């Protein structure tokens, strides 16, 4: 895995920590590594922490949104945490739309959101309304 990231297991979830400058090739490599690790470990969730990322351009935002969709296709929930105010401003100014992406300010809030999403999915399944 590239030096700009680390994947750690937290129970049945993965914590993916990204930091530094992410170029196009690096972020695509991270995408492959995370999806492989979700599948390999049968993770129930992936928390992607971008608080250490200096710049998120429109391509990186697109790949992160795609990664969230891929993780969901693999049967896990995903959330991005730690978007700094300057990064949020830049993403909005670039018109980078990530409506399907769950976000939270901190890893703690992100884990709580992952738990809620799983509980909501379980309730839908129990009531026969699975998406």
What predicted TM-score, i.e. pTM, was given to this entire model? 0.85
CATH 3.30.420.40 correct for 5-126: no
Reported as a single tens digit per residue, the pLDDT across 94-124 is: 888 777 888 999 999 999 998 888 888 777 7
Element at 65 (helix H, strand E): helix 58-73
d(CA 104, CA 125): 25
For the chain, give the mean pLDDT. Answer: 88
How much is the average pLDDT of 62-77? 94
Taking a C-beta distance cutoff of 8 angstroms, is the pair 2, 29 a contact?
A: yes
Reported as a single tens digit per residue, the pLDDT across 10-39 is: 999 999 999 998 999 999 999 999 999 999
Reported as a single tens digit per residue, the pLDDT across 39-49 is: 999 999 999 99
Taking a C-beta distance cutoff of 8 angstroms, is the pair 113, 104 a contact?
A: yes
């Amino acid at each position: 895995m590239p030096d700009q990231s680390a994947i750690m297991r937290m129970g049945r979830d993965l914590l993916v920590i990204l930091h530094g400058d992410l170029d196009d090739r690096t972020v695509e490599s991270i995408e492959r590594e995370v999806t492989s690790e979700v599948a390999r470990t049968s993770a129930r969730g992936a928390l992607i922490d971008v608080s250490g990322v200096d710049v998120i351009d429109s391509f990186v935002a697109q790949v992160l949104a795609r990664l969230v969709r891929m993780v969901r296709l693999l049967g896990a929930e995903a959330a991005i945490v730690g978007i700094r105010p300057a990064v949020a401003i830049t993403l909005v100014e670039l018109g980078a739309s990530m409506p399907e992406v769950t976000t939270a300010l901190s890893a703690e809030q992100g884990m709580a959101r992952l738990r809620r999403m799983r509980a909501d999915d379980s309730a839908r399944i129990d009531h026969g309304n699975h998406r």
